[in-house]
Amino acid sequence: MYYTAGYYLVIPKHEQGTVNGYSDASRTWSVSTYISHVYPSTWGFRWEYSKRQVPKAFKPSEADLNQLHAWIEAEFKQGNYGWPGFFFNQEKALEFQQHFLAGLPQIKLLGVFLSNDYFPAALAQLQSSAGPEWPSVHSLLLQRIPEPTSGSELGFDLLGLLSFGQYEPSSYHVAEAEYQHIFGIRLNEYGLFPNETDCQRVAAYTDTVADEPAVWLPFKVKLFEQPSRV
C-alpha cells in the first residue's frame, strides 16, 4: 500500500546547467527544488518570499503576487497546502494552476507516494525535527491517504528526507554514473529509478556521498493529466 506524500506543480529543468558544482544535462522529473522549478515553493509564502527564488519564466504583477500569497495563506490555514510548498490533493493543485499559472502550459502535475514499509522511518525523521505544528509532510502522511488509481507511474525518486519535510534528491549528487558502474543500475528516461528495490540498493551509498543528516527513502512518482484548456 502506498500513501500520498504530496502533489507538486513542476517544470523539469531539461537544460544544461550546474547541479552541486557539476555540469549536468538534467532530465530528472523530481519534486525537489534542487532539480525542478516548483510552483510555488517557499516563495509562495509571503513570509518566505524572495524574488530571486521565483523561476524566471514566472513574472506575476505585484497585484497577482499579492493574490497568490493570500491564496496560499488561506489554504495553508485550512490544511490544504503544506510547508515547504506542496498541495495535499490534486484539486487544490489544479485550482492554483488555473488561477495563477495559465501562462505556463508546460507545467506538470506530479504526485509522490510512500510505501507503508517506509512509514516508520519517515515519521521518525519528521518527528525528530523540532518545529511548529503546521500542515507538513508529517501531517499529510499521518492521514494515510491511499495512492489514487489514476495517474501514470514514472518511476521512483530516492529522496533524502530532511528536517521539516524538505527533500534532497539523489540526482542532486550527480551519481548516475556510479549507480551504473558500481550497482549496474540504469535510470529510466525520466531520470528516475525503475523500481523501489534499486533505490534500496543505493540508499546507503547515496547517504555516504551526500554526507547530510537525511533519511533516504524511495518515493513513487506519478504524472497526472490536467484538464484541457478551452
Render pLDDT for 60-101 as a digit per residue (tens, 0 to 9): 999 999 999 999 999 999 999 999 899 999 999 999 999 999
How far is the C-alpha of 159 from the C-alpha of 155, rounded, in Å? 13
**pTM for the complete prediction?**
0.91
Structure confidence at residue 128 as a pLDDT band (50, 70, 90) = low
Position 34 scores a pLDDT of: 84
Position 159 scores a pLDDT of: 96
pLDDT tens-digit series, residues 152-209: 999 999 999 987 778 889 988 888 989 999 999 999 999 999 999 999 999 999 999 9
Neighbours of 68 (CB within 10 A): 22
Q: For residues 146-156, give the mean pLDDT.
A: 97
Which carries the bigger pLDDT value, residue 3 or residue 168? 3
Lowest mean pLDDT among 20-24, 54-58, 83-87: 20-24
Domain assignments of the chain as residue spans, ordered by start: 2-224
Phi, psi of 167, deg, nearest 5: -115, 145
**At residue 1, does pLDDT exceed 80?**
yes
Q: Spell out the residues 6+ positions from residue 209 whose beta carbon is closer than 8 angstroms to its own.
A: 173, 175, 178
**At residue 132, does pLDDT exceed 80?**
no
216 Cα distance to chain centroid? 14
pLDDT tens-digit series, residues 23-49: 454 578 999 988 899 999 999 999 999
72 Cα distance to chain centroid? 17
Query: What are the cell numbers at 113?
Result: 507516494
Position 87 scores a pLDDT of: 98
Position 16 scores a pLDDT of: 47
106, 130, 127, 133: which is closest to 39 by C-alpha? 106
